[in-house]
Amino acid sequence: MDLQNLRKQSAQELNDQLLELRREQFNLRMQKSAGQQTQTHHFQRVRKEIAQIKTLLTQKAKS
């Protein structure tokens, strides 16, 4: 995801995207526990995107 595109989105769209990323993170954890996950770089990507969205939501709430 591009940070500039995220800034243009509304708070509701960001919340929806955050929910989708949380589900993806859960699925990655389940794959890891089952021994099916071989591409571990996806964990870091999802965590980074979640942090970016949460930061933007906090900034929008303060303004």
**What residue ranges do the domains of the chain occupy?**
3-62
Q: Which fold has domain 3-62?
A: Helix Hairpins (1.10.287)
Mean pLDDT of the region 9-25: 95
CA distance 14 to 26: 18
- Name the pLDDT band for 19 (thresholds 50, 70, 90): very high
Q: What is the mean pLDDT of the chain?
A: 92
In this predicted structure, what is the pLDDT of residue 25? 95
Q: What is the pTM of this model?
A: 0.88
In this predicted structure, what is the pLDDT of residue 40? 86
Which is more confidently placed, 18 or 4? 18
What 3-state class would DSSP assign to 63? coil
